[in-house]
Amino acid sequence: MENLADTLRKNFREDKIGYKNLLVRQNSIQLEVRSPEKLKPLKKIINKIDPEIIAEINENKIKLSYSESRLNDLLNKVVDQSIEIVRMRVDSTGTKEPTLQKQGDKHILLQVPGEENPSYLKNILGKTAKLTFHLVDENANIEEAVKGHVPVGSMLVKGDSESHGEYYVVIKKKVVLGGDQLTTASASFDQNSQAVVAFSFNNLGSKIFGEITKNNTGKRLAIVLDNKLLSAPTINGAIMGGSGIITGNFTIESANELALLLRAGSLPAPLKIIEERSIGPNLGADSIESGKKAGLIGFIAVCIFMVWSYGVLGLFANIALSLALLYILALLSLFQATLTLPGIAGIILTMGMAVDANVLIYERIKEELHKGISNRYAIRTGFESAFATILDANLTTLIVAFLLYIFGVGAIKGFAVALTIGIISSMFSAIIITKLLIDIWVKYFKPKKLGLV
């Protein structure tokens, strides 16, 4: 109902319909129209916003409400939207694999494995993250506004800065641009090495932003998040590129947090945490342990096969494979990913793919040796001739992983991330590390045979 009230206020201002005493009740909105002749255009506005709004008119007093079925539909829509936005906030990279479930009519159950900082979760979930842009009311008297005498069509917002502490600015109520037009947001640094949030708009947002800055040069543009002023910079000229920065009293952590919230989008309604529990990992420990055992057995089996089939060169492949696994774990740790069963499956799959690349290289080297050429030339030719095939195979898998990440959710995204990291790590180890080890062995030990014939 609050969102409906905001929409009504905006439309009433645009159509110059005077009203007073607009009150939001639990499931209804009440208001009074100043002029009875405005009732007809007011009905048109209400019908345009939503034809299913029920309007009860008593002289110049109006009560707006929804039917019970319409309220339930709206509630379901809000909860579904909230679930997707919460998923984006908690797991923007697809590596944490949270469980999100709808409970009852208006409750959401969130489970995040491996999360050691619940206060961070509560912080990012407790913010609606509604970003709006307003023009500053340059004619308003700040002292009078703080006392409660705010000009009609304006509102008082509070900001905070290191140099001035808390301060107030009077801004126009009209939203000239909303955060829903943002396409990207990321933490960055300005020329003074202060943390900022860099953002860019979509095509429509860029056009609107360009018009605003073009028509209001010399004026200030306020950037407001959840009714709190972030900054109010002066517009120095038209900005047609559709990008800018948000300055404020940011640390790099808070800038990253704000960027995450802006990328995920604003919640359709505020969330209230009603229960919080921390549960040990005992429930899934057996499954994870089984996955680890399967990975270890697979690794040992692959190592034995490579040494049995290719001798010393197989040993080099095993060393490269071990390094690839270390790279994978290091990168997953860097992304703060939770190692779950789909992630383990992705790692095991790339382990086999890494060895497959080595098998292909060694078979090509074997073919060259059968021609009677030298070891060094056979090694170089084998790697060169196998490279294109290995690259094609891995690029195909990377495309599949990319599509899984784009269109998948939860565990599917986690699998795609582990698979992508594994492919990149295994290609590096199979082609670069293995060749380096073989070249060192051939150069310094000068073996007569490579053990492949």
Give residues with Cβ within 8 angstroms of 394, minimum separation 6: 353, 357, 423, 426, 427
Q: Which amino acid is at 310?
A: Y
User: Are 357 and 431 within 8 A, CB to CB?
Assistant: yes
User: Can you give the pLDDT at residue 135?
Assistant: 93
- Spell out the domains of the chain, with CATH numbers in brackets: 2-66 (3.30.1240.20), 129-264 (3.30.1360.200), 282-445 (1.20.1640.10)
Q: What does DSSP say about strands 107-111 and 99-103: parallel, antiparallel, or unpaired?
A: antiparallel
The DSSP call for residue 426 is H
Cα-based angle 175, 179, 180 (whole degrees, multiple of 5): 105
Residue reference for tokens 């200030």:
220
Mean local confidence (pLDDT), 372-384: 86
> For the chain, what percent of residues have pLDDT higher than 90?
9
Residue 361, CA atoms < 13 Å, CB-side half-sphere: 28
Mean local confidence (pLDDT), 414-443: 88
Q: Which two tokens stand for residue 223?
A: 């950037």
User: Can you give the pLDDT at residue 437?
Assistant: 92
Cα-based angle 340, 342, 347 (whole degrees, multiple of 5): 95
Q: Provide Rg for the chain, Cα atoms.
A: 31
User: Can you give the pLDDT at residue 399?
Assistant: 93
Residue reference for tokens 């295994």:
426
179-209 per-position pLDDT tens digit: 888 888 888 888 888 888 898 988 888 999 9
Mean local confidence (pLDDT), 24-41: 81
The DSSP call for residue 52 is T
- What is the chain's mean pLDDT, rounded? 83
Q: Which amino acid is at 110?
A: L
pLDDT category at 164 given cuts 50, 70, 90 is: low
10 vs 172 pLDDT, higher one: 172
Q: Which amino acid is at 89?
A: R
**Which region among 42-51, 252-261, 282-291 has the lowest average model confidence (pLDDT)?**
282-291
Chain centroid offset of residue 222 CA: 25
User: Can you give the pLDDT at residue 163?
Assistant: 62
pLDDT at 348 over 90: no
pLDDT category at 410 given cuts 50, 70, 90 is: low
pLDDT category at 436 given cuts 50, 70, 90 is: very high
User: Can you give the pLDDT at residue 280?
Assistant: 60
Q: Which two tokens stand for residue 38?
A: 């405005």
Mean local confidence (pLDDT), 378-393: 88
pLDDT at 63 over 90: no
CA 202 to CA 205: how far, in whole Å?
Answer: 5
Q: What does DSSP say about strands 99-103 and 182-189: parallel, antiparallel, or unpaired?
A: unpaired
421-430 per-position pLDDT tens digit: 989 998 898 8
pLDDT at 453 over 60: no
Quickly list DSSP for 312-368: HHHHHHHHHHHHHHHHHHHHHHHTT----HHHHHHHHHHHHHHHHHHHHHHHHHHHH
User: Are 151 and 172 within 8 A, CB to CB?
Assistant: no
pLDDT at 283 over 80: no
User: Can you give the pLDDT at residue 103?
Assistant: 82
How many angstroms separate the Cα of 433 from the Cα of each of 196, 306, 321, 340?
40, 16, 9, 28
Phi, psi of 338 (to 5 degrees): -90, 125
User: Can you give the pLDDT at residue 369?
Assistant: 85
User: Can you give the pLDDT at residue 159?
Assistant: 84
Residue 384: which H helix or E strand, with range? helix 375-407
Q: Which two tokens stand for residue 117?
A: 């900082």
Phi, psi of 187 (to 5 degrees): -75, 140
How many angstroms separate the Cα of 46 from the Cα of each of 4, 49, 54, 261?
10, 5, 9, 32
Q: What does DSSP say about strands 99-103 and 154-161: parallel, antiparallel, or unpaired?
A: unpaired
106-128 per-position pLDDT tens digit: 888 887 776 777 787 888 787 77
233-246 per-position pLDDT tens digit: 888 888 888 888 88
User: Can you give the pLDDT at residue 230?
Assistant: 85
pLDDT at 307 over 80: yes
pLDDT at 284 over 90: no
User: Can you give the pLDDT at residue 282?
Assistant: 57
Residue 20: which H helix or E strand, with range? strand 19-24
Mean local confidence (pLDDT), 172-183: 87
Give residues with Cβ within 8 angstroms of 447, minimum separation 6: 312, 375, 441
User: Can you give the pLDDT at residue 260?
Assistant: 83
User: Can you give the pLDDT at residue 338?
Assistant: 67
Contacts 24+ apart (CB under 8 A), 214-220: 214/238, 214/240, 216/135, 219/135, 219/136, 219/138, 220/135, 220/136, 220/138
